[in-house]
Amino acid sequence: MKMQTPVLPKAPAPSKASNPMAQWPRPLPLHLSLQTMTWLSSLAALSGLKNGSLPWRTGLKKAAEKLQKSLEKADPDLPALVAAVDAEACRRLRTFTDGVTRYRDHPRPRRRALPEFWRQGSTRVLNYGIHDGPGLPGAPVLVVPSLINRGTILDLTEKRSLMRHLAAEGFWPFLVEWGAPGEDERNFDLSDYICGRLEPALDKICRTAGQAPAVVGYCMGGNLALALTVRKPVQVGALALLATPWDFHAGPAGTVKMLKVMAPGLTAMIGQLGELTVDVLQAMFTTLDPYLTTLKFQRFATLETGSEKARQFVALEDWLNDGVPLVGPVAEECLIGWYVENTPAKGAWKVGGTPVLPDEVKVPALVVIPTRDHIVPPGSATALADAIPEAQRMTLAAGHIGMVAGGRAKSMLYKPLGLWLCKTLTKVNQS
């Protein structure tokens, strides 16, 4: 029988959106390949479904048994059944590509410009402080995001912004925006970013505010914030770590095994290119949940253009697709040193010659652990909470991104974190 031909997306005209970074979900060829393989494998799987030879996830066992009983009444060789499966697979592929195209064409609001507090190379520190009267804004808080993604996840929209919430609560928030590595950063390792960028930025905040700020780190930014605190204990008033990995072997073994196998090839590629590209990084994250992007864009295709859900989706996807590459030394230090060799948990990770040891943290500390995190397994973050003396911990029923930018982020994270910072910094300044 003649099968339908999948409808692939056409290359769109240059986006007229106000956000020039709007682009396909990255890497698009990978996501299209996954869709096409699903389309083709659906036909090949019919006979296996009927005889029960295909393995199923535990959670899908009942659904699989029901489907198998239905198929027992039909002959998988019947043209009508094959055509129906073929048509459904093609429909899902078209829905995905429709969602992608609608994402590209969706209107985007202009982001507000923020005053630049400090800059060196591609690294900037943005000032979110609200201050209309005499004197200085409130207690300073330095927020450190991951090197891989831009800090805009912490100021995603007006309603989903940790930075704006902290400012509204009377703090003086500063956000590190790493930017894409330039010539100054081509040979940087993590020590260069921490000692050469975070430390001088911290110095200026201390001088300007007249007090040590709280330091908040998100994801990989938490590791950098921890190292900063260990190296500069007098200049940090408190430390909050959000979804920060520490024991890189505490989660599912699949990621570590994959990286061990990939390590020689990754090292060679990094040596050739001088960096780990955004598309390679995104492809690695895709392996954690291969069909997540497909399902997201299929759902987006059904949303009304301009609706609140559509705007939130576009804002989040713009952030996901606007990642930055990791320069070679950083990529090797993280992927090989952290993930393969587990240097942090072994006490072997050093920054500027200083071992980064959690038990050296002498300031009040909070470790936030999202229990539904597929990027930083809860066990990895819990290991850090266990290693910091007298660290308080907060567990959230949320995912890695939903914790900071989801619909419940304000009640779940922003408010409790703000209360902890207020109480902690008040106590520190009184002592």
Question: How is 305-323 classified by DSSP, letter by letter?
Answer: TT-HHHHHHHHHHHHHHT-
Check whether residue 41 and residue 142 sit in a common domain.
no
pLDDT over 90 (residue 230):
yes
Check whether residue 216 and residue 334 sit in a common domain.
yes
pLDDT band at residue 86 under the 50/70/90 scheme: confident
Check whether residue 174 and residue 98 sit in a common domain.
no
Check whether residue 176 and residue 123 sit in a common domain.
yes
Per-residue pLDDT, averaged over 14-39, amounts to 65
Tens-digit pLDDT profile for residues 42-77: 666 666 666 666 677 777 778 877 877 777 776 655
CA–chain centroid gap for 209, Å, is 30
Check whether residue 179 and residue 148 sit in a common domain.
yes
The whole-angstrom separation of Cα 92 and Cα 290 is 15
The whole-angstrom separation of Cα 383 and Cα 174 is 28
pLDDT over 70 (residue 225):
yes
What pLDDT does residue 43 have? 65
pLDDT over 60 (residue 224):
yes
Q: Is 14 part of a structural domain of the chain?
A: no
Q: Which has more pLDDT, 40 or 91?
A: 91
Q: Which of 47, 74, 105 marks a domain boundary?
A: 105
Per-residue pLDDT, averaged over 12-39, amounts to 63
Q: Is 40 part of a structural domain of the chain?
A: yes
Q: Is 77 part of a structural domain of the chain?
A: yes
What pLDDT does residue 177 have? 97
Check whether residue 178 and residue 84 sit in a common domain.
no
Structural domain containing residue 55: 28-105
Q: Is 257 part of a structural domain of the chain?
A: no
Check whether residue 78 and residue 218 sit in a common domain.
no
Q: Tell me what the pLDDT averaged over the chain comes to.
A: 87
Q: Which has more pLDDT, 241 or 272?
A: 241
Q: Is 134 part of a structural domain of the chain?
A: yes
CA distances, 110 to each of 7, 81, 152, 177 (Å): 33, 49, 13, 18
Tens-digit pLDDT profile for residues 321-355: 888 999 999 999 999 999 999 999 999 999 999 99
DSSP conformation class of 152: G
Give how many domains the chain has, as a whole number: 2
pLDDT over 60 (residue 305):
yes
pLDDT over 70 (residue 427):
yes
pLDDT over 70 (residue 18):
no
Q: Which of 60, 82, 105 marks a domain boundary?
A: 105
Q: Is 11 part of a structural domain of the chain?
A: no
Closest CA to 426 of 187, 255, 228, 170: 170
Query: What would the two tokens of residue 34 be?
Result: 């996954």
Query: What would the two tokens of residue 74 be?
Result: 């039909």
The whole-angstrom separation of Cα 376 and Cα 246 is 9
Tens-digit pLDDT profile for residues 147-165: 998 999 999 999 999 999 9
pLDDT band at residue 19 under the 50/70/90 scheme: very low
Q: Percent of the chain scored above 70 by pLDDT?
A: 88
2-16, 131-145, 212-226: which is most confident: 212-226
Q: What is the CATH number of the domain that holds 200?
A: 3.40.50.1820
Check whether residue 156 and residue 82 sit in a common domain.
no
Per-residue pLDDT, averaged over 373-397, amounts to 96
The pTM of the full predicted model, rounded to 2 decimals, is 0.85
Least confident of 78-82, 213-217, 361-365, 401-405: 78-82
What pLDDT does residue 232 have? 97
Check whether residue 334 and residue 387 sit in a common domain.
yes
Q: Is 149 part of a structural domain of the chain?
A: yes
Check whether residue 330 and residue 394 sit in a common domain.
yes
pLDDT over 60 (residue 401):
yes
Q: Is 318 part of a structural domain of the chain?
A: no
**Alpha helices by DSSP H, 354-414:** 378-387, 402-405, 409
Least confident of 74-83, 292-301, 352-361, 383-392: 74-83
pLDDT band at residue 204 under the 50/70/90 scheme: very high
Q: Which of 105, 137, 160 marks a domain boundary?
A: 105
Check whether residue 137 and residue 70 sit in a common domain.
no
The whole-angstrom separation of Cα 145 and Cα 173 is 13
Q: 143 in helix, strand or coil?
A: strand
Per-residue pLDDT, averaged over 367-387, amounts to 96
pLDDT band at residue 82 under the 50/70/90 scheme: confident
Check whether residue 127 and residue 98 sit in a common domain.
no
The whole-angstrom separation of Cα 377 and Cα 250 is 7
